[in-house]
Amino acid sequence: MTEELKTYAPPPALAATAHVSGMAAYEALCQEAENDHTGYWGRLARELVSWKKPFTKVLNDSEAPFFKWFEDGTLNASYNCLDRNIERGLGDKTALIFEADGGEVTKTTYAELLAKTCQIANGLKSLGVAKGDRVVIYISMSVDGVAAMQACARIGATHSVVFGGFSAQSLRDRIEDTGAKAVITADHQIRGGKQLPLKAIVDEAIGLGGCDTVKNVLVVKRSGAEVAMTAGRDLWMADVVSGQPTTCEPEWVEAEHPLFLLYTSGSTGKPKGVQHSTGGYLLHAALTTKWTFDLRADDIFWCTADIGWVTGHTYIAYGPLALGGTEIVFEGVPTYPDAGRFWKMIQDHKVSIFYTAPTAIRSLIKAAETNDTVHPKHYDLSSLRILGSVGEPINPAAWEWYHHHVGGGRCPIVDTFWQTETGGHMITPLPGATTLVPGSCTLPFPGISAAIVDETGNDVPNGQGGILVVKKPWPSMIRTIWGDPARFKKSYYPSELRGYYLAGDGAIRDAKTGYFTITGRIDDVLNVSGHRMGTMEIESALVSCTELVAEAAVVGRPDDTTGEAICAFVVLKRPRPTGEEAKAIAKQLRDHVGKEIGPIAKPKDIRFGDNLPKTRSGKIMRRLLRAIAKGEAITQDTSTLENPAILDQLSQNN
Ligand code: WT7
């Protein structure tokens, strides 16, 4: 860090009352974990999670890195999120405040959510879905979506939610890889005033082949518009649940039973099915919701993520419910009907904890600059007490705006670093303890042994950048990659790192404070608007357009709004196009990528070349492509390049 940044101490009232109150309390927890790692996690697992059969052993590391937590304990995640709250007298408390795209609000109490969950659970059982089966959920933000996840958990089926923005091809790949027995979807999704298909995409995905394991598709009615239904396979959810009892005995599963699979991008073309456990995952979901957000009985919590991403799993479907909280489930988008939507909803629902992504903040800053009426100052945001950020680094300017204009200067911002694989927060401020520095995710969550090392696993001193690792296992860690344990080991526990978990990010600790700042991925993974994407995945999508594309290389370049932007360099099977022809082909390729993966993966820039910069041994020199994508002059050594002239050609804009 070159310039001195401002610091923000916790508000005194919060520091006095928070679940983790003051820095000394934070340090005491870290010390407890340091002295007795398994004792610490065992204590919390007993305090926060209700077990059917208590565990006797906290950690089994005999098959490291395939760690097992609370192995001989049994529990049910849905019991913990629903029944338990009702037993504690919260049956009539609002669990979910659903706001539809068009603004209609529906409140669901804990008792109602349990009844709905049980009916879906019984419905699934009536179709033969049982413990250990996989269920793919392809649905937008909805009470049904949350209830469907809870219903799977209730019967011990492993859910795999696929974000509604993924294409038929991506959905097909995930259905095939999970071997799902059922798919839960809706007729349509409604976002930004537009009706978009879901069921039709499920049909297309199954039609692509390889989905023979799917016996039933359950369709929730959202738009009410007509959709094709395949006899014998497709059923309306309303018909499946009608007449089903509103109670359902939970299936008590072992702590290691896979609660869900969630696909994420890595450095190869094939997304990985990250497998999470029930016990350890639920513990960290509940614990981080309690400590990082300081969730209290009267809070209105709003995490704006979609349930298709891990943030929506941990901080919508599980964490807040495990604590008996009240939360918002929002169907729409931040810019509809205008870019004041978030601020209006915070005002209307008196949201007290608000958790969103830097990319959303940056786009709303832009919107407020061009249209003052959507500036947060026009809304009453006085209910807010804690703000959160997730998914990518938050630049200090956006941090300051968020703090000042949204938080009124009163609310700590918890900049939470974590990943699909980590299940919950790893490095984050605690709002009543940590002094904040904009742009830094500050310090590890108590019990998380985050560290920065070099390529061989040696600690690097503060002030010097390196590779982010986690030295000891933790309860909510990824258990394996579904169907590919070898890839799990290779990706996260490479032998040269002495058994440390490799996050895939670079980081640096401040020389004075020891605060962590994430410097970005060290692998071929991009982060576009907080969405994670592999460059190889996009490259394979491009080259799968076989009639046009001979070769493609994808890199990221910094972007003011989306964090990173996708930049593709493409060699066609025909002479290099220019002008209008280049534009038309670029559009065609973008659409092709949209079809192969989903709109989020469409490259922002596509540049055509006669070939790509390669070494004499044929390796594409991506660092040169990254420089070109950024518009930088090439100052690097190009002497190993086979074809130096290509650099000039690619540097020209098409
Ligand atoms: C990658 C994980 C975390 C849930 C949503 C994304 C980046 C995430 C931060 C942050 C800097 C961050 C990292 C990480 N990232 N949070 N607070 N500061 N970078 O989960 O899709 O698995 O992506 O997102 O690069 O590795 P994901």
61's CB contacts (< 8 A; 6+ apart) are 67, 473
Question: Atom 7 in ligand 1: which residue has the minimum CA distance?
Answer: 392
For 410-423, the pLDDT digits (tens) are: 999 999 999 999 99
Q: Binding-site residues for ATP, please? A: 391-393, 415-420, 505, 521, 532
Residue 2 has pLDDT above 60, yes or no: no
Q: Which of 272, 362, 390, 399 to mutate to test the pocket of ligand 1 (most atoms within 8 A of CB)?
A: 390
CA 157 vs. chain centroid, Å, equals: 21
Average pLDDT (117-139) is: 98
Q: How far apart are CA 541 and CA 602, in angstroms?
A: 10
**Residue 391 Cα, ligand 1 centroid: separation in angstroms?**
4
Terminal Cα-to-Cα distance of the chain (whole angstroms): 37
What is the percentage of the chain residues whose pLDDT exceeds 70?
Answer: 99
| 462 CA distance to ligand 1 middle (Å) | 22
Mean pLDDT in residue range 202-208: 98
Pocket test for ligand 1, best of 532, 533, 600 (most atoms within 8 A of CB): 532
Mean pLDDT of 21-33: 98
Question: In this structure, what is the dihedral angle of CA atoms 523, 527, 530, 532, given to the nearest 10 degrees?
Answer: -60
Angle, helices 37-48 vs 23-35, to 10°: value is 120
Residue of 316, 419, 422 best suited for mutating to test ligand 1, as the one with most atoms within 8 Å of CB: 419
What is the pLDDT at residue 652?
Answer: 79
Going from the Cα of 419 to the center of ligand 1, the distance in angstroms, rounded, reads 5
Amino acid, res. 195: Q
Residue 341 parent element (H or E)? helix 341-349
Separation of CA 108 and ligand 1 centre (Å): 31
Residue 389 Cα: closest atom of ligand 1: 17
Closest protein CA for atom 24 of ligand 1? 391
Cα-to-centroid distance, 311 and ligand 1 (Å): 10
If you take atom 18 of ligand 1, which residue's CA is the nearest one? 393
Residue 654 is predicted with a pLDDT of 54
Give the ipTM of the model, two decimals please: 0.99
DSSP string, 520-577: EESSSEEEETTEEEEHHHHHHHHHT-TTTEEEEEEEEEEETTTEEEEEEEEEESSSPP
For residue 569, report the distance from its CA to the centre of ligand 1, in Å: 26
Nearest ligand 1 atom to the CA of 503 is 26
Å from CA of 187 to ligand 1 middle: 31
Residue 4 has pLDDT above 70, yes or no: no
Supply the residue whose CA is at minimum distance from atom 12 of ligand 1: 392
Q: What is the pLDDT of residue 442?
A: 98
Measured CA to CA, the distance from residue 221 to residue 235 in angstroms comes to 11
- Identity of the amino acid at 594: G
Using H for helix, E for strand and C for coil, what is the string for 135-186?
A: EEEECCCCHHHHHHHHHHHHHCCEEEECCCCCCHHHHHHHHHHHCCCEEEEE
Mean pLDDT of 387-401: 96
Report the atom number in ligand 1 closest to the C-alpha of 530: 6
Q: Is a pLDDT exceeding 50 seen at residue 1?
A: no
Evaluate if residue 243 carries a pLDDT over 80.
yes
Distance (Å) from CA 524 to ligand 1 centroid = 14
Ligand 1 centre to CA of 317 (Å) is: 19
How many other CB atoms are found less than 10 A from the CB of residue 75? 26
In the reported structure, the alpha carbon of residue 505 is separated from the centroid of ligand 1 by a whole-number distance in angstroms of: 9
Among protein residues, the one with the nearest Cα to ligand 1's atom 23 is 419
Mutate to test the pocket of ligand 1, among 415, 470, 527 (most ligand atoms within 8 A of CB): 527
161, 389, 392, 415, best to mutate for ligand 1 pocket (most atoms within 8 Å of CB)? 392
Which residues define the annotated binding site?
A: 191-194, 311, 391-393, 415-420, 505, 521, 529, 532, 543, 549
DSSP element (H, E) containing 508 = strand 501-509
Q: What is the mean pLDDT of residues 202-230?
A: 98
For 421-434, what is each residue's pLDDT tens digit? 999 999 999 999 99
pLDDT at 653: 64
Over residues 330-343, the pLDDT tens digits come to: 999 999 999 999 99
Atom of ligand 1 nearest to the CA of 417: 17
* Ligand 1 mean position, distance from CA 199 (Å): 30
* Pocket of ligand 1, beta carbon within 6 A: 264, 310-311, 390-393, 415-420, 441, 503-505, 518, 521, 527, 532
pLDDT-wise least confident of 29-43, 551-565, 617-631, 635-649? 635-649
CB 265 within 8 A of CB 537: yes
Residue 276 has pLDDT above 50, yes or no: yes
- pLDDT of res. 110: 99
User: Residue 636 — very low, low, confident or very high, per pLDDT cuts 50/70/90?
Assistant: confident
Select from 468, 518, 523, 525 the residue to mutate for testing ligand 1; criterion: most ligand atoms less than 8 Å from CB: 518
Sign of the C-alpha dihedral computed for residues 446, 451, 457 and 459 taken in this order: negative
When pLDDT is averaged across residues 55-60 and rounded to a whole number, the result is 98
Ligand 1: which residue has its CA nearest to atom 2? 419
Residue numbers belonging to the annotated binding site for CoA? 191-194, 311, 529
Give the residue-averaged pLDDT of 545-554: 94
Q: Band the pLDDT of 269: cuts 50, 70, 90.
A: confident
Tens-digit pLDDT profile for residues 291-322: 999 999 999 999 999 999 999 999 999 999 99
CA of 523 to the centre of ligand 1 (A): 13
